[in-house]
Amino acid sequence: MQKELVILGAGESGVAAALLAKAKGIPVFVSDSSTIAERFRAELTSAGITFEEGGHSRDRILAAAEVIKSPGIPDKVALIKDLDHAGIPVISDIEFAARYSKAHIVGITGSNGKTTTTLWIYHILKVAGIDATLSGNVGVSPCRQLADRDPAVFVMELSSFQLDRMYRTRVNTAVLTNITPDHLDRYDYKFENYLNSKLRILQNQGEGDRFIWWTGDAVMKEHFRPELTPASKVPFSLGSVEQCSAVQSVEVQDALTHLGLSNGDDCQLCCKANGGKTSSAIINGDSLHIEFEGKVLDVQLDKVALKGRHNLCNAMAASLAALSAGASPEAVAEGLASFEAVEHRLEPCGEVDGVLFINDSKATNTDSAWYALDSMTRPVVWIAGGTDKGNDYRVLEDLARSKVKALICMGVDNSKLIKAFEGVVSTVVSTASLDDAFRAAIENASSGDVVLLSPACASFDLFKNYEQRGKLFKEKVKELL
């Protein structure tokens, strides 16, 4: 008798994996410790898939041939430890899907910017008329698509939790937006563990693949090594000076020697490591300059849909990845101009009596909050707080001191946030609900200010997730309009 495939967690990733398993004739059992959402329960029932909710049948699970784990389940959970100890393979839905796909996989990871970059890549590919599916941490699980058919391209946002349980998946175009401390509570509060998780996106690449990365990322400057991947290295940079200083790795030194160039040569020649053809993106004056394996594209910065330095990084990464997946330069230029902002990420949601309200609920770590504060041009009433993930708020001190007129702390425990910013921001208010935080923000805001929800923390103390936090904030703003 064939052993079962067991799936832990009946959300999108788990149910989609179950549907794919059913389509492939694999015996499958779904187990969720909580109540399953009605739409997912209906899908499982309709497909004739056996499931349980409100607890786990431990003996049945430990008899599995293989287990697919929801990325939201930590490895430190006793059941996962027992599975690992028993030698039963525990994988992600991404790993399972990759077994049944011949698609070109564009994988995007990083601490910040990955959702915007993922959606932007997908948008450009659709403009280009390419058969692409949005999947991974946004969109649907690739398993759901594969239960029907295999597309030409999968555009996958990959969280560190998904990468942790990926072993043989080959990411043809890997994008690493940046690496800063995040989710350290899931990695024994050791940054090197989190870093190694992110770098798993490169683990199965070949010479025909591409690795797209930001040369301005301090962590990658320190840890970049040519042997991380045999793929072509495709850097992007906010400026030519930064690129020249950042990309002087052993790999680029070898490339320069091979091409008969030296460190003093034109910055745009620094990355001619792919058959003598430049593959890179930089900011060149008032334009975004992209070269990819013989294709050249210049786009005026004022034509790029999203503003801010961080979004220029996202735009360059998206452009290079889309070109790698087959988009034309013309489609890239059109897609850069026509893309719309991501919900909950620096999302303007109304202006009342001269006060602009911005929903940046997706900023669940200090680095995301840094980009938000850095992009503000008005005095800021900043709403922050939530479930702390081992944050070091010192990185925000200079921006808070120069840009924030009032900090509204919103959380069950605001003590760490208050301690970090008392004496840095003149007004610090502690609240324990969105209603109180919103009221305090209005009381401290004047015409010409911005009320910025950029929590720098997870949402789980007061909300189900960052989406609920952002939607409730927007509802509050609508009440004022």
**Binding-site annotation: residue ranges for ATP:** 110-116
Which of 186, 178, 136, 161 is CA-nearest to residue 16? 136
Which of 178, 300, 294 is CA-nearest to residue 236? 178
d(CA 307, CA 305): 7
Residue 366 burial class via C-beta count within 10 angstroms: exposed 0-12, middle 13-18, buried 19 and up? buried
Which amino acids are annotated as binding site, given as ranges?
110-116
- The answer to whether the Cα torsion of 468, 471, 472, 473 is positive or negative is positive
Classify the phi-psi angles of 472: left when phi > 0, otherwise alpha if psi is within -120 to 50, otherwise beta.
alpha
| Residue keyed to tokens 């100890």 | 85
Rg (CA), the chain: 23
Structure tokens of 407?
A: 């900090």
Return the amino acid letter for 475: E
d(CA 372, CA 339): 19
| Residue keyed to tokens 């309709």 | 46
| Residue keyed to tokens 């649907």 | 140
Residue 442 burial class via C-beta count within 10 angstroms: exposed 0-12, middle 13-18, buried 19 and up? middle
Q: Are 477 and 350 in contact (CB under 8 A)?
A: yes
Q: What does the DSSP 8-state code read for residue 302? A: G
